[in-house]
Every structure is written in C-alpha cells, then in structure tokens.
Amino acid sequence: MRQGIFIVLILAGLAGRTQEREVPRIVNIVNFIRLLEPRDSAITEDVLYQTVVRQVELMRACRLGGTFLLQYDALMDPRYQRLMRSLPRDSFEIGGWWELPQPLVEKAGITWRGRYPWDWRANIGFATGYSPAEREKLIDVYMADFFKLFGYYPATVGSWFIDAHSLSYMESKYHIVASCNCKDQYGTDGYTLWGGYWNQAYYPSKTNSYMPAQNAGEQIPVPIFRMLGSDPIRQYDNGLGSSRQGVVTLEPVYSFGGGDSTWVNWYFDVFTSGPDLGFNYTQAGQENSFTWKAMAKGLEIQFPLIARLRDQGKVRVETMERSGRWFRSMYRVTPTTSFTVVKDIEGSDRRTVWFDSRFYRINLLWENGGLRIRDIHLFNERFPSAYEMTAATSNECRFFTLPFVDGYLWSKPDQIAGLRVKAMVAGQEVVLTGGEPIVENVGAAEMLIRWPVETVAGELEILLNEGRIEIRFESEKAVNWYLELNTADGASLPFERIGPAAIDCQFEGMKYRVGVSKGICLKPDNGAVLRIRPQKNRIILEMK
C-alpha cells in the first residue's frame, strides 16, 4: 500500500461507535395529503381522509412523530384542519405539498387548464407549468391561507419536483428551511429525475433545483431531501430497456420493497450498519392516494421496526423541519456522503457503493465476482433548468445532470453499459474478477475501497473524495490493467473528443470536461467507447 492518504484508515461502523456520534441515520416519516383522487371513483374523499386518520393512529401507537404535507385542497378542508391541529407540535410537523389543484390556481387569479380539479401533469399540477410571476402568486395564496389556519408559515414544502425560482421565493419571503423531491427515476409517472445527488440531501443551484451547487453563493440555502428510500442495488436497473422504470422503494404499497418484511428488514439493516460517510437518510410514509388498504401491511411492518431502531439508538426519527435545520447547521455547502451495501438480500452476492459530493456522484456495483462502475454524473451549478424562466408545455418533465457513465440509459438488456476493470492476460483481454470488497472511510469525507482481485493476483484500490476518483492496482507482478467503457449499440453519448489527458463532453448544450491527471485516454479499436490506461500504476479522474 502506498504512503500518504491510504496509510490511515478509519473503518466506519467499528464496534463501540455510536451511530449518533459517527454517522447519523435519519428517518423522516412523511405522509402527504390530497383531498381527492380523480383516477379511481372508488377512492372517495372519505377514503382518503380515513387513510390519514389510520396513519396518525399507527404513528401514535408506535410513539413516532413525523411530517404531514398538505396539498392546498386538503389544507382548506375542515376535517384535515381539525386532525392536523390535534397533533402535538413537538413531534409532528405540518407543511405544504406543492402540487397545484384547481382551487389554488383559481384563487391566484389564473385560469385552470386541468382535466380534473387535481391534474398530475407537469404543465398543470406543478409550478413548472406556470410563469415565474404566476408561481409567486400561487405561493402567496397558499402561504396566506396556511398562516390564517395555523398561525405560522410552513417550514417544509415538498413535491415530486419544485423549480428553483419557487424554492428561492419560498425561502426568501417565507423562510422555509427544508424541501424534498422524488428519488432518481426515469419516466415513472411521466417524471424523469436522473443523475442527481442520489440520496441524503443537497443544496440546489439557484438556476436548477435538481442540480447541486458547488459554491455557497450560487446555492439556495434550503436542503432538498431525496424521497422514497430507493433500493440501492435494484432500483437503478429496474425496467432497463423500456421507457419507464419500475419501482423498488420503501413505499409500503409495493409487494417487493416496502410491503415485504424480508426486504424491509434487509433495507434497514444495511441502512443502519453500512460504512457510510457524513450521514444516511431515508423517508418512510406514503401519500394517502394509495389508500390505507394498500399501505397498511407495509406500514405495520415498517413503523414498529423504525421505533425499535430508534429505541436502540440506531436511527433518529424526526420531522423534516428538524432535519433541515440540522443540515443547515452542519453544512455550509453540500456535503460528501455515501450509502453502502456490503451484504445483499439473501440469495444475492451483489454489493454497491453510492458516493455523492457537490461535484459528482458515482455508483460501483459488484456482481458475479466482477466490478462495474455503473454510473458517474457530474454536477455543475451553471447548467440551467429549462423550467426556471419558461413555463413547461409538455405533460411530462425532465431533470438531468451531466453524464459521464450511464449504466441505465446507455444499456440494453443484452448490452449492459459500464466502466469495467480489464487486463491483458496471456495476450487476451479479460474482465477482472475477485472477492468481497472492503469499504473503509478515510477521515470524514473520503472513502477507500479495496477489492481483492483473483484473475491476476492483486488488489484494486479506489479512493473517492469530494473532487477526485483515484484508482490503483497493487500486485507483486506487473499487470497490464486499464478501465474500459462499453455501451449498447446506438446509445446517445455525450463524448465530443477523447484526448490523452481529458474527455470533452456536451449534453443538452452544456460543455464539460473530465480531466485525467494520471492516466492516458484513448479510443480503442475493439468497439469500446473509451479506454483509460494507468500511469505509474494509477488513474486519477478530476471531477471538478
């Protein structure tokens, strides 16, 4: 092992460490509330209300607090007002759910264009469908009525997606302290959020709410927490080759995911025990549109388990407002965090590391003895969202960051994209295989992954920090190893030029570069997209 940064290794999760002191594991129970459900006549307003009543009863039975976010039509309903006022403020938070129903839009003096009193299309039921001036009117109406009812403004406003203009206005005028948006997904329900800060929370750019900012002066000082508790291994590839992803999350309505006791117990085991950086986060709960009948089994599995983990000191269960205030007190800019799975669900040998910083995200996946760098996306606060100054006209929405490796969009079922570690052995190109990776933390903001390789005896070391990916191969013998990016035929790729020391890219009008300060880049003649050879046995990718 080389001298310097690899010498001092601090293994997260060592016996005797407390989760609270070293790596907080934060659980927000967030239930958001709609008044009506036009997609199913059997889901009446009373069914939706009774769903929330049962959620409250179960939370109280488990001595769990949480956050309820109200869409405007539910906010103005006397039943929800009485129910929400009955909740103790020291453990329950009432906030806003930022989908826009007909009563809110019309009270703001704007013509309603929806098919129903609540229409979930991106250009109707979300602020992206309105001009910046109209967005401010909508916010003012909601906040004024919320204040009349509760005597204060909400500290948390969440939605599947909220544009940066609206978030900035909510923060500057009404001083919200936290927000949340949908997990990463492609096409699900017509909403695409792809390549972002994968989990936990981030400070968004002033011109793009989905893009983490790199500098405090260019960020909105409201942390956005990622919702729904994605399966760190299976969610990413779910539905590969189709136009819509499937869903494997903590949401209690899914039979494989939050509604399955085996999956739930596995998820919370890896959530509380992984060698993670910074803090780890998940959101439990469900919108009332799914109804109590569909979510009861999953919540009755999850909530008692969350309560036990809280009592054991393994998780913090708190409102999103409290999490937002904690985040703002801890971090001046978006932190470096990770979510690690060192043991998959029974019957699977897969393992993964998600690593996020304010500059990039990376995902590594081990399966069938091999390693694939499945995803790398760069973050750049200068990459504007199309929705910031112009109203959306499509009934779907698209939020992206800057791709460098995309194992989902660049794959087909029989051609799985990724950056793989290869070597020339006896004149043949082989993909390296090995044993179980060892994941360790180096101080507070760097992660070292050591992977024992069996194809050629040695150990691959991957050091991840805020702005750099460093890879080296330790072996007693010289090994002709390299990284190689393969994609499916016909994949739409961002690469404009592959130079020896940098890869120049362009995506949706934005030019960006990945520098290679150690290593040599080239376009191989075997059909691969990119090959990076080491220099002095090291490859260093500069991500900022």
Distances (CA, A) of 526 to 465, 504, 516, 530: 32, 21, 22, 10
Instruction: Print pLDDT tens along the chain (544 aa).
Output: 333 333 333 333 322 233 334 789 999 999 999 999 999 999 999 999 999 999 999 999 999 999 999 999 999 999 999 999 999 999 999 999 999 999 999 999 999 999 999 998 889 999 999 999 999 999 999 999 999 999 999 999 999 999 999 999 999 999 999 999 999 999 887 889 999 999 999 999 999 999 999 999 999 999 999 999 999 999 999 988 777 788 999 999 998 999 999 999 999 999 999 899 999 999 999 999 999 999 999 999 999 999 999 999 999 999 999 999 999 999 999 999 999 999 999 989 999 999 999 999 999 999 999 999 999 999 999 999 988 778 777 777 888 999 999 999 999 999 999 999 999 888 899 999 999 999 999 888 999 999 999 988 899 999 999 999 999 998 878 889 999 999 999 999 999 999 999 999 999 999 999 999 999 999 998 889 999 999 999 999 999 9
Given this model, what pLDDT does residue 20 score? 37
The pTM for the full model equals 0.92
- Paired with 498 in beta bridges are 503
State the pLDDT at residue 152.
97
| 465/442 Cα distance (integer angstroms) | 9
Q: Which of 504, 316, 469, 396 is nearest to 129 (CA)?
A: 396
Confidence at residue 500, expressed as pLDDT on a 0 to 100 scale? 95
Nearest Cα to Cα of residue 339 among 277, 421, 420, 250: 277
Tell me whether strands 224-226 and 178-181 are parallel, antiparallel or unpaired.
parallel
In the prediction, which pLDDT does 501 show? 95
Compute the distance between CA of residue 313 and CA of residue 311 in angstroms, rounded to an integer: 5
Q: Which 8-state DSSP code applies to residue 412? A: B
Looking at residue 532, its pLDDT comes to 97
- What Å distances lie between residue 162 and 50, 204, 314, 509, CA to CA? 28, 11, 32, 22
Query: Cβ-count burial of 523 within 10 angstroms (0-12 exposed, 13-18 middle, 19+ buried)?
Result: exposed
Q: Which residues contact 152 (CB under 8 A, 6 or more apart)?
A: none
Q: How far apart are CA 435 and CA 452, in angstroms?
A: 6
Model pLDDT, residue 17: 32
* Exposed/middle/buried for residue 500 (C-beta within 10 Å: 0-12, 13-18, 19+): exposed
